[in-house]
Amino acid sequence: MQSDGQNNDGGGDAAVLDALAATSAEFGVPLLDLSAFDHASIPSGLLDEEIIRRYRVLPLRRRGGRLSIAIADPADLAQLDEIKFHAGTDIEGVLVQRAALGVAIERYCAGKGDRELAELADDDTHQVAASFGTSERAVDEAPIVKYVHDVLADAVAAGASDIHFEPYENAYRIRIRVNGILREASRPPPSVGPRLAARLKVMSDLDVTERRVPQDGRIKFSLASGGAHDTVDFRVSSLPTMHGEKMVLRILDQSSARLDVDELGMEDDQRDRYLGALDQPQGMILVTGPTGSGKTVSLYAGLKRLNNEQRNIATAEDPVEINIEGINQVQVNSRVGLDFATALRAFLRQDPDVVMVGEIRDRDTADTAVKAAQTGHLVLSTLHTNSAAATLGRLRAMGVPAFNVATSVTLIVAQRLARVLCPACRRPFPLSAEVLLDEGFGEGDVDAGIETFDAFDDGCHRCDHGYKGRTGIYEVVALTPALQRLILDDASALELAAAARTSGFIDLRRAGLSKVKRGITSLREINRVTARGES
């Protein structure tokens, strides 16, 4: 399957140029060949990088009171008005090829970063190190401090979930994870790597002098922007590597705790099953999937639904990522003997109605969770398995008796996260009936006609490379009497999955294809996060 649908025989380029010329004439906008433009002549400071990346435009020159900018869509008048507001001056659009504009933007922003990095390289190491112990003003004025601030602010603005600071023998790389995909953000000189790590450790109250062992900390970062993200929390992890300390920052999105079950992306029947299990006074709800699949968000959505003055709710988490008013949250600390099982046993002496355990990792935690679910408490937790059916086998492999599994577990949710196509620039991507059937669509759907879409790889000013945000893909299994009997008979995961389908169970693959059929995501994306026949 081609990823971009472009014609590479040379005729495609001529067609693109003809279309550009027609658009230029229609809107009265001058046309420019960016490949022949002297990028070095662009003055710095004409537009903020955040504005350039958000609106996918490039400042070219300022003449008198007018700023010329390269654009790919002259029809978007609202965008031009917004840029005019941010620029504080009149603007003139110059039409360019969209693909060339994307390359030029990256080149310009990389050059801007290079100029800032040159300041870092020229800065005296001892002067910056000394500033860590001096006045707040001195710290704020240090180039390394400004650079770290900009990296963190840019990552938040890009909607990143993680930032990686990575030292290598002859290079240093900063990457951010956006919509689940890592991409390079900057390459500072390797010589500044130790100072970047030191600055991050100072911000997170870690021991700057200890570089031999991993450390964990937390940063509360002020953007001072007056916007929706005035303060952002980061979870910080350091790791000693062959060539220095690697630092990874997880951006803790407080909005995750405000999501409702209706906003998770479940199919209607799946949502009803989840809500039904949450309404039960006792039992165990297990959410399963790989790291980064949104399990915690699904649990928080359930807790949000349960959180009221009539319920006593306690959670054991490692770590506590998001603070929730009205819920008693405990940070486990195995170094002092406070593990998940210990916290759970303590909860049971605190008159709980609902308990959440961050993860069931061992037999002790599993047995304690089962006991809680069997004695009048609602228990929510996670497991690392690939499917709902495999979760039951995982509990049995931990040593939990089949009877306890069958009588305590009420619902299993397996999930993945898939990127959502940008509605502004997604493009039709027709597929043959043979391909659709091979990918798992039903004959009835194919005969009725399925309109499929794909991402526009360059994206637009509203999105990130054709995608905007993520949605959940789920399979939700409620334990029926038939499934309970199979568990007692030690049935395999395949037998359990087959039995679940008879009660309307939708597996991960079919849930993903449903979102492809509705134009929410692309088949390419569903193939990335699920496998054919996955269940």
Phi-psi map region of 263: left, alpha, beta (phi>0 left; psi -120 to 50 alpha): alpha
Which distant-in-sequence residues (6+ apart) come within 8 Å of 21 by Cβ? 31
Sign, CA torsion 378/380/383/385: positive
- Residue 227 burial class via C-beta count within 10 angstroms: exposed 0-12, middle 13-18, buried 19 and up: exposed
Q: State residue 357 phi and psi, 5-degree precision.
A: -110, 125
439 and 530 Cβ atoms separated by less than 8 Å: no
Which distant-in-sequence residues (6+ apart) come within 8 Å of 268 by Cβ? none
* pLDDT for residue 113: 58
* pLDDT for residue 532: 72
The rounded average pLDDT for each run of 10 residues, N- to C-terminus, in the chain (535 residues) is 41 64 84 78 76 85 84 80 80 85 77 60 47 40 78 87 95 92 88 91 92 92 60 93 96 79 93 96 96 91 95 93 90 90 95 95 94 96 90 91 94 96 92 92 90 85 83 94 91 85 86 95 94 63
Sign, CA torsion 150/154/157/161: negative
Class of the CATH-defined domain 123-252:
alpha beta
Which distant-in-sequence residues (6+ apart) come within 8 Å of 7 by Cβ? 15
* pLDDT for residue 114: 57
* pLDDT for residue 137: 41
Q: How far apart are CA 499 and CA 482, in angstroms?
A: 8
SS3 letters across 180-212: CEEEEEECCCHHHHHHHHHHHHHHCCCCCCCCC
Q: How far apart are CA 185 and CA 109, in angstroms?
A: 10
Long-range contacts of 331-338 (CB under 8 A, 24+ apart): 332/358
Q: State residue 385 phi and psi, 5-degree precision.
A: -135, 170
Query: Helices in 3-68 by DSSP H: which ranges?
Result: 11-27, 49-55
Q: How far apart are CA 73 and CA 98, in angstroms?
A: 8
| Chain center to CA of 469 | 8
Q: State residue 309 phi and psi, 5-degree precision.
A: -70, -10
* pLDDT for residue 128: 41
Q: How far apart are CA 106 and CA 58, in angstroms?
A: 10
Chosen CATH of 11-105 out of 3.30.300.160, 3.30.230.10, 2.40.50.140, 2.40.40.20: 3.30.300.160
Domain ranges for the chain:
11-105, 123-252, 256-417+470-511
1 strand-pairing partners: none
Class of the CATH-defined domain 256-417+470-511:
alpha beta
Q: How far apart are CA 392 and CA 486, in angstroms?
A: 11
